[in-house]
Structure 1
Amino acid sequence: MATIKIKQIKSKIGYPVDQKRTLQALGLRKISQVVEVEDTPVIRGMVRKVHHLVTVID
């Protein structure tokens, strides 16, 4: 299956707990950290939830 790279571009400080947990579930802990995950509808939904904190790298 295809994969996507997700990069955290903004701090999670000051955002709701559910958004912090979403970042944690994606495997992101630090700003500028990049993780490679499978491209599934579940992951896309998680990225959409925290779209203001992350970016998708092609």
Structure 2
Amino acid sequence: MCFEYMKEKKNCIDKNVLFIISNDRNNDMLFVGDNGTYRLNKNGEITKLKRKSD
């Protein structure tokens, strides 16, 4: 991602995402990594979500 409006020579950020944590519509926590997406529900259970290609 680069910021063209900045006058500095180094105006870009390298983004190498390793792990993302977010919430879904049901307010369950999602963990996204290279090997898949997992959901932590309100009961404390973690399940791997299936990909569309699976």
TM over 0.5: no
Structure number with higher relative contact order (C-alpha < 8 Å, ≥ 6 residues apart): 1
TM-score, structure 2 normalization: 0.23
- Give the TM-score, by structure 1 length: 0.22
More helix by share: 1
- Give the number of the structure whose alpha-carbon radius of gyration is greater: 2
